């Protein structure tokens, strides 16, 4: 029963991520594709735009932390490697939303965002595992 609620929250958070990362929707275009706007190398602009960069990192990490936390709470002890699964799912979702940004004239897709999103999901999942262990101590 309880994991069913966490699964719904997890799915709702995926929707939140998609909406937040792909907005604004009025700027989508099919041609020309904005390949030149993609930052292919993670952290390549860390020193040129440090203030904007650090805020962007924090936003991405915070956005994906509930993703990892809710996933771990959704499937408490069913999976042998929950952190691996959270990392894979976060990578797939992050890559898909960054790929959608290629068609948005106001967004800048970045490999840095993918790395930070996966890191945020892993942080959230680690915290969720720790909380689960505190709630259900073995022995």
Q: How is the chain split into domains, by residue range?
A: 2-135
Tell me how far apart the alpha carbons of residues 25 and 39 are, in angstroms, rounded to a whole number.
Answer: 21
For residue 98, what pLDDT is reported? 92
Q: Output the CA angle 84-133-67, nearest 5 degrees.
A: 45
Model confidence, pTM: 0.87
Burial class (CB in 10 A: 0-12, 13-18, 19+), 118: buried
pLDDT value of residue 62:
97
CA neighbor of 109 nearest in space, from 38, 7, 19? 38
Distance of CA 75 to the CA centre of its chain: 18
For each successive 10 residues of the chain (139 residues), what is the average pLDDT? Answer: 85 96 75 74 72 82 97 77 93 94 83 96 94 74
Question: Residue 132: phi, psi to the nearest 5?
Answer: -65, -40
């Amino acid at each position: 029963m309880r994991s069913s609620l966490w699964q719904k929250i997890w799915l709702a958070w995926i929707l939140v991520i998609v909406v937040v990362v792909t907005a604004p929707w009025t700027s989508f275009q099919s041609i020309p594709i904005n390949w030149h706007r993609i930052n292919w190398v993670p952290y390549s602009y860390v020193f040129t735009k440090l203030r904007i960069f650090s805020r962007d990192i924090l936003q991405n990490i915070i956005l994906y932390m509930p993703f990892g936390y809710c996933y771990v709470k959704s499937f408490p002890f069913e999976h042998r490697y929950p952190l691996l699964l959270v990392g894979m799912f976060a990578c797939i979702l992050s890559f898909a939303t960054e790929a959608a940004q290629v068609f948005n004239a106001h967004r800048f897709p970045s490999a840095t965002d993918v790395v930070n999103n996966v890191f945020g999901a892993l942080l959230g999942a680690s915290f969720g595992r720790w909380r689960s262990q505190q709630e259900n101590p073995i022995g």
